[in-house]
Amino acid sequence: MKRQMIVFILLMTAAFTGNATILTVNNNTALTNVSAGQYTSVPPAITAASPGDTLYIHGSPTPYPMFVVFGKNLTIIGTGFNPDNQFGFKSTISGDVRFIGTATAGSRVIGLDLVRSLTMSQTQNISISRCKIGERVELGASVSNVEIINNVIIDAVLVGNNSDVTISNNILRRIVNSNKNSVTVTNNVFHYIISNKVFWSVTNIVFANNVLQGVNALGCEYCAMNNNMASDPTVDFGYSMTNSIGDNSVGVGPLYDVTASPGFISLSNDYTLQPGSPALAPPDGLGGSDGSDVGITGGAFPFDLVEKADSPIPQIYFMNMTKSNVPQGDDIQFNVKVRTQN
């Protein structure tokens, strides 16, 4: 049965990854038969992979160590940052995840639970989605065309002197070190931090349709500020008249139910816009510059913490045997429930 379950997962994953070779990583040997072609840690799987291959990192009660991708582009898929399955195991990485060098261009990271940070340098066309990142996303030297979408980032995105960066529909705290007008920050929710500042050394970015939950907009100069919503009535989107501003709302809350953790990022918070919220798209509310919701439920990449807590691949979320004792030669009967997320 264990081997059948592995084959089934591989077949389902193939539907998502096309013709790329799939390598599976699973350190939870107590539950799964790790057969030939699979790995118990990520680095050997990376070494064995060819450019364009996919690594599927199984959920496990034991975190995986940090890893570095160098010399090839890979798609790395985990279970999601809050998987809804029978065991609830995440694909947790205990250290940093790093992408280094031009050959990693085109890599994707989906559905990992990172205890620390995700960093990259000298690369481009990197996509990060549906991850929970315990510290920060850091863009080093010579990075471009990065998409950071539908993530929970406990601290910050460090953009650096890099261009063509999209930061959309995330829950996070701040943006650090950015100076290009090709950096767009849209439809995010920014939560309280001790300094009460969303920006550190930021200029020229496009900042639109975001929600500032108990934080200030100080620190962004010569930025385009449009259709943002801040619960703090003292927020100055104009920042001493250096910013271009349009239709921002100050002292207006989005009516989230964040009672579980009102000041900080928490997966227990409910970021669904309540009836009467001004963040709702017209005619129910004020809406954003594109006519959709302000915050994570609007824009081009709507983010639902329940629906998109899993990776967008078919996954087994329930499995049990109907008989615990089966005579030799008889069929094994079991129930399997599978679903996928968009």
- Looking at the chain, the whole-number percentage of residues with pLDDT higher than 90 is 56
Q: How confident is the model at residue 329 (pLDDT cuts 50, 70, 90)?
A: confident
Which amino acid, residue 317? Answer: Y
So what's the pLDDT on residue 14? 47
- The mean pLDDT value for 262-271 works out to 73
- Please calculate the CA angle 260-265-266 and round it to the nearest 5 degrees: 45
As a whole number, the mean pLDDT across the chain is 84
Residue range 143-160: average pLDDT? 96
Task: Using the predicted structure, report yes or no on whether residue 190 has a pLDDT greater than 50.
Answer: yes
pLDDT for 340 equals 61
Q: What's the pLDDT score for residue 87?
A: 73
Rounded to whole angstroms, how far apart are CA atoms 248 and 239? Answer: 13
Domain boundaries, the chain: 1-149+312-342
Residue 193, pLDDT above cutoff 70:
no
Other C-beta atoms lying within 10 Å of the C-beta of residue 321:
12
Which percentage of the chain shows pLDDT scores above 70? 79
pLDDT tens string 38-94: 899 999 999 999 999 999 999 899 999 999 999 999 999 999 988 876 678 899 999
- How does pLDDT run across 279-322, given as a tens digit for each residue? 999 999 999 999 999 999 999 999 987 665 656 666 565 566 66
Instruction: List, for residues 195-252, the tens digit of each pLDDT value.
Output: 668 898 999 999 999 999 877 767 789 999 999 998 888 888 887 678 888 889 988 8
Helix (H) / strand (E) containing 2: helix 2-17
The pTM for the full model equals 0.86
Question: Which has the higher per-residue pLDDT, 333 or 242?
Answer: 242
CA distance 192 to 12: 40
pLDDT at 23 over 90: yes
**Alpha-helical runs (H) found in 159-263:** none
- Mean pLDDT in residue range 81-110: 91
Q: Are strands 183-186 and 156-160 parallel, antiparallel or unpaired?
A: unpaired
Q: Are 220 and 207 in contact (CB under 8 A)?
A: yes
b/e 198-228 (16+ beta carbons within 10 angstroms → b):
bbeebbbbbbbbbbbbbbbbbbbbebbbbbb
Looking at residue 6, its pLDDT comes to 41
pLDDT, residue 75, reads: 98
Report residue 13's pLDDT band, with 50, 70 and 90 as the boundaries.
very low
